[in-house]
Amino acid sequence: MSLPHALLTSLLEKSCSGYDLARRFDKSIGFFWQASHQQIYRELARMEAAGWIFSVADSNSRTKKRIYSVLPSGVDELKRWVDLPTEPIMQRDEFFVRLRADAAIGPLGMAEQLQKRMQIHQLKLASYLLIEQRDFLSHAKLTRQQQIQYMILKAGILYEQQQLQWSQHLLELLVQLDPH
């Protein structure tokens, strides 16, 4: 289970509320791990019960906002977990299931869906390149943390670029195979 550890890492980078975490998961962290706000709130409650984190009401006491911070035992837990053997990577992409169905009983007009998918990849790529420009290319010297975070971002960039390239090839094949 990675979510609590993703949350611990995020909180170590900066203490914040569940709501803030949910928004962060829509951005940087969300590129390799997604989570809904419901899941995050539930997990934060568990982690607080486990003594990994604690929360204080926001200084602006009129809201229900609670700021969470990591306790030493949370850091210990994170270190313990990082050292655990990496379990095989889960590859689950519905699009390939669809494509294989099309191969079996098609043509089912996958080109349209493929183009929508390419647009999504295009958008993701653009947003990653923006982050790259803003956070990593404009600085002369990067800290250790920044260099590693840059490598993570690069993995995302490479993935999206490759998906786009592959999709382009597939599109050409589909057009050639099934002229509409």
Partner DNA sequence: CCACCCATGTAACTAGTTACATGATTTC
Partner DNA sequence: GAAATCATGTAACTAGTTACATGGGTGG
Q: Is 21 exposed, middle or buried (0-12, 13-18, 19+ CB in 10 A)?
A: buried
Tally Cβ neighbours within 10 Å of residue 44. 21
Neighbours of 83 (CB within 10 A): 7
Q: Is 101 in the site for a copy of itself (CB under 8 A)?
A: yes
Contacts of 25 (CB under 8 A, 6+ apart): 6, 10, 33, 34, 35, 40
Residue 53 binds to a copy of itself (criterion: CB under 8 A): no
Binding site for DNA (CB under 7 A): 1-3, 17-20, 22-23, 34-39, 41-42, 44-45, 58, 62-66, 90, 92
Q: Considering only residues 19, 22, 33, 71, which one is a binding residue for a copy of itself as defined by CB under 8 A? A: 33
Residues lying near a copy of itself in the complex (CB under 8 A) are found at 2, 5-6, 8-9, 12-13, 29, 31-34, 75, 78-79, 81-83, 85-110, 113, 116-117, 120, 144-145, 147-149, 151-152, 154-155, 158-159, 162, 166, 169-170, 173, 177
